[in-house]
Chain A
């Protein structure tokens, strides 16, 4: 089966703790993205990557970090600097072959603060 997997489905963070959300894809897509979704709000772009070992900040990168050591993997770390981390986090991937390429999304990770 081809697709994107995210883990865990639910994640709990304590004050001052860094947590890492996993995202893996086997679609052979070059580009990967992380979005944050809050109730009643659209998807907001956190980080994106077009190629291994390179990534760019999106609209709300503060308090987050990423890495792209392998084409298939794009983990997101929510650092203690992110003061309001409770949200639904979505990972996506796409090709870069043309304009308007479809974004394929994972099932999401819901992050809650204890």
Chain B
């Protein structure tokens, strides 16, 4: 079965710097990968989707890359702000092109003023 790995340690950065979060996966080739943001005590909110034939996707200060050879996605937040502090989850289809995503454990991002 597929496995999703996100760094369990919190990422601490200074305001204004670029935050980079990593999502690694094993065992199969997903048709897409999604990133969600979750604030404490709340449900996740969708941020970006990138498909297997796309190398990079951007949305405002967010950028996602998808390297199907390395089986890795990188999630970047440029010019980070304290309001960006949250847990970021990556999600992949449970198998191949399944419409049901499987979520990683998430990485906590803390942006210090």
Instruction: For B106, give the chain A residue with the smallest CB separation.
Output: A42
Interface size bracket, A side: 20 to 34
- In the bound assembly, the distance between CA atoms of A23 and B10 in angstroms comes to 31
Does A100 lie within 8 Å of B31, measured CB to CB? Answer: yes
Does B4 lie within 8 Å of A104, measured CB to CB? Answer: no
Could you count the A-B residue pairs with CB atoms below 8 Å apart for me: how many are there?
59
With a cutoff of 8 Å between Cβ atoms, the chain A residues found around residue B8 in the complex are: 40
Q: Which of A6-65 contact B (CB under 8 A)?
A: 31, 33, 35, 40-43, 45, 48
**Residue A108 interfacial (CB < 8 Å):** yes
Partner of A99, one of B36, B99, B104: B99
Given A42-B89, A45-B100; A100-B46 close (CB under 8 Å): no
With a cutoff of 8 Å between Cβ atoms, the chain B residues found around residue A41 in the complex are: 105
Residue from A4, A43, A48 whose CB has the most chain B CB atoms within 10 Å = A43
Say which one of B14-22, B37-45, B67-75, B78-86 lies at the interface with A. Answer: B37-45
Does B42 lie within 8 Å of A108, measured CB to CB? Answer: yes
Does A43 lie within 8 Å of B89, measured CB to CB? Answer: yes
**Residue A66 interfacial (CB < 8 Å):** no
With a cutoff of 8 Å between Cβ atoms, the chain B residues found around residue A103 in the complex are: 36, 44, 46, 91, 101
Does A42 lie within 8 Å of B4, measured CB to CB? Answer: yes
Where the two chains meet, the residues of A that have a C-beta atom closer than 8 Å to any C-beta of B are: 4, 31, 33, 35, 40-43, 45, 48, 88, 90, 92, 94, 96, 99-108, 110
A-B pairs with beta carbons under 8 Å apart, 26 shown: A4-B43, A31-B99, A33-B100, A35-B103, A41-B105, A42-B89, A43-B103, A45-B94, A45-B102, A48-B100, A88-B41, A90-B43, A90-B44, A96-B99, A99-B99, A100-B49, A100-B51, A100-B99, A102-B34, A102-B49, A103-B36, A103-B91, A105-B43, A106-B43, A108-B42, A108-B43
